[in-house]
Chain A
């Protein structure tokens, strides 16, 4: 087999795989071509794996096929059964497996080299240490993030004294162990050479604990940023593995993923007007004082009913729906989508205003709405929808809170000051569907609820929206 495929051919095929990944990502720039893009990228992966299988003398095909079969079954099983609301934690967990695999490959390569008593060049040591640290942090960090999103790990920020010291110590241990791997080669005696591999596992262990310590103190609301960042890390870990094995396919693919992760991280941070440091090291979410809430809300809250909302919609020319994670939790997206479809049929202009951090992952709200058959061209981004609120008759805010809080536009030192928000208050009437007046993740009250043109539609998102749909159908 080795003769059949020369090294040059192998490299050329990896180049083809890299081109397929790049073309696949290019096709992701539009929903029309995105399905094709995903398949193109998957084809690139298939080519890379198949050519690798053909080229290397696989001494234990049973082990390999077994691994592929187990992985495929688990991956496909999880993928087929997942609920769209739970997508972020699943993607987070998959991400963790990617990071874990990188750390293991680097470890296996070191073990193999040490076992052969072979050369152990500096660049291999640097890359192995890097992919070991990053891969292990990604693995445990992603699992904690997924656990927080799934509710098996508490979503609130767990702070402890000496937090930064503990993290710095763990990172220090990992880096020192990595440094030891790099400095070693021929200078040291054969006895010390035997300690390369244990040093690597010490590095992995310290990095694994570090991953947990990094994510545990971050609140559930910041998980979109954490998941994006960990995605970037897993890409870098794969690229690091590529350096260990001198494999261009791994380097290019890993780097592309790293770029995607970092870009999404930056977008998420900008959407919250927070720095990455603030997300990673600053807790988010203070307790709202009940006095402050009473001051704002007392006597200023107007309640409405599904029947009244239906009447408002009857006379409206333009309606904007602003969904938040509350809508997803209540599974109200299907009722909301049905309502928007009915309005559309009756000639009412309907749009969805989607804040970049609404949901548990970048773009999560769009996926939920798409699943409920909301057409892509009705989903508007913040910059696009904000100027249109003044020409909008009715805004329906469902399950969203902080992303429509006008206090973000004031420099009052609140946690959300300066965060770009949807200026729904500019519309004729704002209907807020929410179960209570409780504050959102930021923990601060929302003066929008007390505004003259705001009415509150209290109740469970799904039930309430379904009632509105029923009322609307009856009165058509």
Chain B
């Protein structure tokens, strides 16, 4: 139960922090923001790595493997396309 409360604390604080930062991002950068934020969801990779590594059953490992593939596509692709898009923005001051 303490774990749950601690986790909830992180969740709520991160929500407030995210709101205050993200509302400051200009409309021009909304597409790169979305694909960058999207890449951050690939953090599930960490979870997938833990599960794939635990190897307690074959099914769990297989699911973990599939999750690693999907999450890696998300991370690598997301950061890459954000980078490509952002490099195009010139003349900001």
The residues of A with any CB-CB pair to B shorter than 8 Å are: 18, 21-22, 24-26, 28-32, 34-35, 37-39, 41-42, 45, 48-49, 52-53, 56-60, 63-64, 66-68, 70-72, 74-76, 78-80, 82, 84, 87-88, 90-91, 94-95, 97-102, 104-105, 107-109, 111-112, 115-116, 123, 227-228, 231, 234-235, 237-239, 241-261, 263-264, 267, 354, 356, 361-364, 366-367, 370-371, 373, 375-379, 381
Contact with A370, one of B3, B4, B7, B88 (Cβ below 8 angstroms): B88
Kindly report which residue of chain B lies nearest to residue A42, judged by CB atoms.
Answer: B79
Contact with A66, one of B51, B65, B73, B81 (Cβ below 8 angstroms): B65
Q: Using a CB-CB cutoff of 8 Å, which residues 27-81 of chain B contact chain A? A: 27-57, 59-61, 63-81
In the assembled complex, the CB of A108 is this many whole angstroms from the nearest CB of chain B, namely 4
Contact with B41, one of A31, A82, A254, A364 (Cβ below 8 angstroms): A254
In the assembled complex, the CB of A137 is this many whole angstroms from the nearest CB of chain B, namely 14
In the assembled complex, the CB of B18 is this many whole angstroms from the nearest CB of chain A, namely 3
Interface of chain B: mostly helix, strand, loop or mixed: helix
**B63 engages A108 (CB within 8 Å):** yes
The 17 sampled A-B contact pairs (Cβ below 8 Å) are A25-B21, A25-B22, A25-B37, A30-B26, A34-B32, A38-B82, A49-B46, A56-B54, A58-B49, A112-B60, A237-B41, A250-B44, A251-B10, A254-B44, A257-B18, A367-B31, A381-B28
Task: Compute how far the CA of A263 lies from the CA of B30 in the bound complex, rounded to whole angstroms.
Answer: 10
Kindly report which residue of chain B lies nearest to residue A361, judged by CB atoms.
Answer: B31
Interface centre among A66, A91, A102, A228 (most CB of B within 10 A): A91
Task: Compute how far the CA of A381 lies from the CA of B36 in the bound complex, rounded to whole angstroms.
Answer: 22
Chain A residues with Cβ below 8 Å from B87 are 35
**A260 engages B33 (CB within 8 Å):** yes
Contact with B14, one of A68, A98, A244, A251 (Cβ below 8 angstroms): A251
Task: Compute how far the CA of A284 lies from the CA of B52 in the bound complex, rounded to whole angstroms.
Answer: 44
Kindly report which residue of chain A lies nearest to residue B5, judged by CB atoms.
Answer: A123
**A48 engages B46 (CB within 8 Å):** yes
Task: Compute how far the CA of A252 lies from the CA of B13 in the bound complex, rounded to whole angstroms.
Answer: 8
**A79 engages B80 (CB within 8 Å):** yes
**B50 engages A263 (CB within 8 Å):** no
Contact with A71, one of B38, B64, B69, B88 (Cβ below 8 angstroms): B69
Chain B residues with Cβ below 8 Å from A248 are 7, 10
Known: A38-B79, A67-B72, A79-B81. A95 touches B38 (CB 8 A): yes
**B7 engages A242 (CB within 8 Å):** yes
**A25 engages B18 (CB within 8 Å):** yes
Task: Compute how far the CA of A102 lies from the CA of B63 in the bound complex, rounded to whole angstroms.
Answer: 11
Cβ-closest 6 pairs across A and B: A71-B72, A363-B30, A375-B91, A259-B18, A67-B68, A75-B77
Known: A31-B89, A41-B39. A108 touches B51 (CB 8 A): yes
Interface of chain A: mostly helix, strand, loop or mixed: helix
Chain A residues with Cβ below 8 Å from B78 are 75, 91, 94
In the assembled complex, the CB of A205 is this many whole angstroms from the nearest CB of chain B, namely 15
**A98 engages B85 (CB within 8 Å):** no
**A94 engages B57 (CB within 8 Å):** no
In the assembled complex, the CB of B48 is this many whole angstroms from the nearest CB of chain A, namely 5
**A75 engages B73 (CB within 8 Å):** yes
In the assembled complex, the CB of A450 is this many whole angstroms from the nearest CB of chain B, namely 30
**B48 engages A105 (CB within 8 Å):** yes
Known: A67-B72, A97-B70, A363-B28. A105 touches B64 (CB 8 A): yes
Chain B residues with Cβ below 8 Å from A28 are 25, 29, 32-33, 36
Kindly report which residue of chain B lies nearest to residue A61, judged by CB atoms.
Answer: B53
In the assembled complex, the CB of B86 is this many whole angstroms from the nearest CB of chain A, namely 5
In the assembled complex, the CB of A354 is this many whole angstroms from the nearest CB of chain B, namely 7
Kindly report which residue of chain B lies nearest to residue A84, judged by CB atoms.
Answer: B85
Task: Compute how far the CA of A120 lies from the CA of B45 in the bound complex, rounded to whole angstroms.
Answer: 23
Chain B residues with Cβ below 8 Å from A123 are 1, 3-4
Contact with A264, one of B14, B30, B91 (Cβ below 8 angstroms): B30
Contact with A256, one of B18, B32, B48, B57 (Cβ below 8 angstroms): B18
**A260 engages B45 (CB within 8 Å):** no
**B89 engages A377 (CB within 8 Å):** no
Chain B residues with Cβ below 8 Å from A246 are 3, 7
Known: A41-B79, A56-B49. A377 touches B91 (CB 8 A): yes
Known: A112-B51, A363-B28. A370 touches B89 (CB 8 A): yes
**B35 engages A111 (CB within 8 Å):** no
Contact with A31, one of B22, B28, B31 (Cβ below 8 angstroms): B28
Known: A34-B89, A91-B38. A109 touches B51 (CB 8 A): yes
Task: Compute how far the CA of A260 lies from the CA of B36 in the bound complex, rounded to whole angstroms.
Answer: 10
**A97 engages B37 (CB within 8 Å):** no
In the assembled complex, the CB of B22 is this many whole angstroms from the nearest CB of chain A, namely 5
